[in-house]
């Protein structure tokens, strides 16, 4: 059976604050013609330049995947890319009126809901898949991560994470078919360790972070002074450590939500290939740098 390409029926917008830049902006998905692919248009820049969502345009992977073309950037695209892949959308033009898309709740759920509201429509063109014909492995010995893709009849991912943490144990997540993505992976939020917060702030990151768009894990005992300082950073009257070492009583949607979010990120970063993949992915300790280097290796090995 031949699969067809898909776009959205009508335009739909989402507004919010970018996680790292703190910029408030609006993201608008527009229908696009067949073989258009996924492209961003920076409508706040003179000439409204286009930034294509492809791995060759990746310029930074500091706590997210940033793409750029002709000096024009779009930050943290991975959740958008995952939401489009999860919705089965091949062609869309995305207007953005600032550098960074809204982080929303730190997952892909709100974007997938918006795309569903816009409506997904079939187009008169065949969907092209990248069919993996050999085993490809990327390793990063210093970090200890490994990502592999091998031939398979359909797309699937197995993920394992290990942060050597007392509060975040070794976790696994498994996606057997993309039909599982919306319910079981799209709602899973990004996460961070408490000890990383100040480092991220010193590097001019997470300006738009708050306790509604990330799960914060606390490994060690934290002083009341530290908690008060973090509360001030996030404009909260107070914060507290609750069961499981999680800041401010966030309830996990799944026991292995962090591993599921890492799987979500892989789906988004793999989408920078420009077409869906047919193959089995196995990932140990993935991250945006490793993910995108892995995608570059796939491009090279498959000659695309």
Question: What are the residue ranges spanned by the domains of the chain?
Answer: 4-128, 191-247
Instruction: Say whether pTM exceeds 0.95.
Output: no
The rounded distance, in Å, linking the Cα atoms of 270 and 180 is 17
> What percentage of the chain has pLDDT greater than the value 70?
89
The pLDDT of residue 250: 74
Task: Check residue 2 and give left, alpha or beta (phi > 0: left; psi -120 to 50: alpha).
Answer: beta
pLDDT at 212: 63
Q: What is the pLDDT of residue 133?
A: 96
Catalytic pick among 20, 30, 79, 288:
288
Phi/psi at 294 (5° precision): -60, -45
Q: Is 24 a catalytic residue?
A: no
Tokens of residue 119, six digits: 């409506």
User: Bridge-partner residues for 36, per DSSP?
Assistant: none
| β-pair partners for 247 | 241
Strands (E), 156-218: 156-161, 171-175, 191-193, 215-217
* Domain at 4-128: CATH code: 3.30.230.20
Q: What is the pLDDT of residue 222?
A: 72
Calpha distance 206→265 (Å, rounded): 18
Distances (CA, A) of 109 to 105, 259, 296: 8, 16, 27
Q: What are the tens digits of pLDDT across the range 213-269?
A: 778 788 777 778 777 776 666 667 777 777 667 876 578 899 999 999 999 999 999
User: How far is it, in rounded angstroms, from Cα 47 to Cα 65?
Assistant: 24
Mean pLDDT, rounded, for 137-155: 95
């Amino acid at each position: 059976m031949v699969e067809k390409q898909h776009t959205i029926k009508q335009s739909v917008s989402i507004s919010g604050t970018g996680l790292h830049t703190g910029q408030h902006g609006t993201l608008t998905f527009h229908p696009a013609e067949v073989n258009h692919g996924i492209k961003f248009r920076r409508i706040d820049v003179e000439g409204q330049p286009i930034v294509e969502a492809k791995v060759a345009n990746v310029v930074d992977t500091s706590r997210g995947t940033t793409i750029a073309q002709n000096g024009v950037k779009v930050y943290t695209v991975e959740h958008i890319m995952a939401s489009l892949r999860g919705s089965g959308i091949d062609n869309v033009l995305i207007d953005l009126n600032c550098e960074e898309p809204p982080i929303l709740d730190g997952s892909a759920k709100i974007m997938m809901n918006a795309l569903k509201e816009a409506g997904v429509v079939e187009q008169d063109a065949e969907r092209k898949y990248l069919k993996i014909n050999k085993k490809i492995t990327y390793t990063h010995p210093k970090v200890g991560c490994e990502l592999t893709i091998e031939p398979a009849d359909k797309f699937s991912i197995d993920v394992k994470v290990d942060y050597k943490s007392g509060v975040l144990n070794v976790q696994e997540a498994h996606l057997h078919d993309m039909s599982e993505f919306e319910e079981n992976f799209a709602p899973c939020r990004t996460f961070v360790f408490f000890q990383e917060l100040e480092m991220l702030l010193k590097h001019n990151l997470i300006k738009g972070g708050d306790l509604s768009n990330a799960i914060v894990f606390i490994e060690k005992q934290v002083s009341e002074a530290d908690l008060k300082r973090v509360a001030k950073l996030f404009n909260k009257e107070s914060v507290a450590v609750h069961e499981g070492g999680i800041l401010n009583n966030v309830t996990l949607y799944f026991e292995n939500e962090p591993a599921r979010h890492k799987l979500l990120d892989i789906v988004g970063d793999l989408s920078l290939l420009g077409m869906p993949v047919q193959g089995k992915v196995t990932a140990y300790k993935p991250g945006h740098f490793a993910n995108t280097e892995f995608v570059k290796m796939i491009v090279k090995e498959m000659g695309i």
